Amino acid sequence: MAYAKKEMENARVEHSAHSEEHFREKHLMLDPLPRGKMNEMVMESMHHTTWKFWVVFGVLSAVTVYTLFYSWGVMIAEGLGVAGVNRPVYWGIFLVNTVFWIGISHAGTFISAILRVFKAEFRRPFTRAAELMTTFGLVQAGFSIFMHMGRIWLAYWLMPYPNQRMLWPNFHSPLSWDLLAITTYLLSSTMYLFLPLIPDVAMARDRSTGWRKTLYKVLALGFRGTEGEWTHLRNAMNIFAFAIIPVMFSVHTIVSWDFAVATRPGWSSTIFGPYFVIGALHSGMGAVVVVLAIVRSTMKHMKYFIRAEHFDAIGKLMLIISMSWAYFFFNDYMIQWYGGDKWTKQLLHFHEAGPLGWMWFAMLILNIAIPWAILWNAKWRSIPWLISVVGIAINVGMWFERYIIIPISLSINRMPFTWRMYEPGIEIPLGIGTLTFFILLYMAASKLIPLIPVWEVQEGQMAHELKKFGRETVVTVSELE
């Protein structure tokens, strides 16, 4: 009896030693490399530029110049007549893209602020990759919203600025709220991107020469890594992490009010605030996964930093968000249907059975069926290409969702004489242009600033350890301060 007990004890020790090894292989936080080596790896991935990069960069530049800047120039010169928007569909793909890009930008803040506040440690290696998406996504949203204006050269009239005639913007208008919310979000998320970047550019400054040295010298603001500097940085980051969360929620809520406040059937829905926020997180997380998979496969040494565990963790988040989105979608339709307004009833019927009914069904498949089917499986959601497929599916699905809310819902109004379908014109190249410009900015950034927050990874590795609770070995994190 005693012999058997000892055997079992031995086996358990062996097993735990094995699983400890297994843990180290699997978790970045338990697999530390020398810090100099890690810094070097990040610097090399910034310098390491293959001919493929330049080919893609060149093609995307050409496409962007033609689709975004040339087409926009044509539209400014000719008027909005070159676009497909037409009565009664006054808002078309421009606004769809605006909502879409603001949605994409939500994931960065979600990952870096909410997960930081909740101490979800898996976020450490990819916060910057996500934050860059926030800033660049907002740039595209800005492009899209300015493109849609009839007289873009007078866009500054929407700003409250002192003038002799005492003219103010109309603060009753959701578009004025939009402008303030998006500007606040762009400024705060850019600052929040910059703060955790300081120690990394300081690292890059110490390891580079030439024009890069000058650039990083300016960006690092003289950061040397003294105790006082770290304390200040930590305080600033803590303040920003908490302060930016309400900003993030407010931005997409306010974007939803553009629709919810209007009297249109299909728009006037009280659930739109949280529905849009969760939709934004849905598309944003999908985009983060795609970006991470591309970064991991194209950039050097990124396989060390971004691992299956990260895709697994984001996959779980995506699954939960997809379920929440399904709830809000159902809620929105249920309450509109129950309202019994004859125009809304007509519109709901048009959504599913109209000429673009396929889009409605595709939206449900791409946003609910595909994520639930694939993300439920822990093994599947850890495979980068498979989860990127889910990410792309979600993004297409969410784009469809916004397309259904904006141009398709606008086709049906209370004056049946004016009912008309929307046929996009120059909106399509302009939309492609925002996408390619987003990728271009991202590619440029990946070569200019460290895409991986190395200091955060190193900090996490210092604080992580394996602890045994009874028989179980658990990865834990100890407080640094």
Question: Which of 158, 369 has the CB closer to another protein?
Answer: 158
Question: Which of 79, 246 has the CB closer to another protein?
Answer: 79
Beta bridge pairs of residue 476: 465
Cβ 88 to another protein shortest distance, Å: 5
Cβ 79 to another protein shortest distance, Å: 4
Beta bridge pairs of residue 475: 466
Helix (H, G, I), strand (E, B) or coil at 472: strand
Question: Which of 263, 478 has the CB closer to another protein?
Answer: 263
- Which helix (H) or strand (E) segment holds residue 465: the answer is strand 464-469
How far apart are alpha carbons 284 and 391 in whole angstroms? Answer: 9
Question: Which of 94, 110 has the CB closer to another protein?
Answer: 94
Rg of the chain in Å (alpha carbons): 25
Instruction: Show the tokens assigned to 380.
Output: 């599947």
Distance of CA 216 to the CA centre of its chain: 26
Cβ 409 to another protein shortest distance, Å: 10
Cβ 73 to another protein shortest distance, Å: 15
Question: Which of 84, 357 has the CB closer to another protein?
Answer: 84
Cβ 331 to another protein shortest distance, Å: 24
Q: What is the 3-state secondary structure (H, E, C) of 450-468?
A: CCCCHHHHHHHHHHEEEEE
Cβ 304 to another protein shortest distance, Å: 48
Cβ 346 to another protein shortest distance, Å: 14
Residue-wise DSSP of 223-288: ----HHHHHHHHHHHHHHHHHHHHHHHHHHHHHHHHHHTS--TTT--TTHHHHHHHHHHHHHHHHH
Q: Give the N- to C-terminal CA distance of the chain in Å, as an integer.
A: 48
Cβ 93 to another protein shortest distance, Å: 14
Helix then strand then coil, % of the chain, to nearest 5? 75, 5, 20
Question: Which of 206, 341 has the CB closer to another protein?
Answer: 341
Q: How many residues does the chain have?
A: 481
Question: Which of 92, 397 has the CB closer to another protein?
Answer: 92
What does the angle CA 38 – CA 40 – CA 42 come to, to the nearest 5 degrees? 75
How far apart are alpha carbons 298 and 50 in whole angstroms? Answer: 10
Question: Which of 131, 178 has the CB closer to another protein?
Answer: 178
How far apart are alpha carbons 187 and 319 in whole angstroms? Answer: 30
How far apart are alpha carbons 73 and 231 in whole angstroms? Answer: 48
Question: Which of 10, 173 has the CB closer to another protein?
Answer: 173
Cβ 151 to another protein shortest distance, Å: 4
Question: Which of 170, 209 has the CB closer to another protein?
Answer: 170
How far apart are alpha carbons 339 and 245 in whole angstroms? Answer: 33
Instruction: Show the tokens assigned to 366.
Output: 């791409």
Question: Which of 155, 218 has the CB closer to another protein?
Answer: 155
- How many Cα atoms within 13 Å fall on the side-chain side of residue 18? 6
Cis-peptide into 160, omega within 30 deg: no
- Residues found near another protein in the complex (CB under 8 A): 78-81, 85-88, 90-91, 148-151, 154-155, 157-158, 167-170, 172-176, 179, 258, 261-264, 410, 413-418, 420
Cβ 146 to another protein shortest distance, Å: 10
Cβ 167 to another protein shortest distance, Å: 7
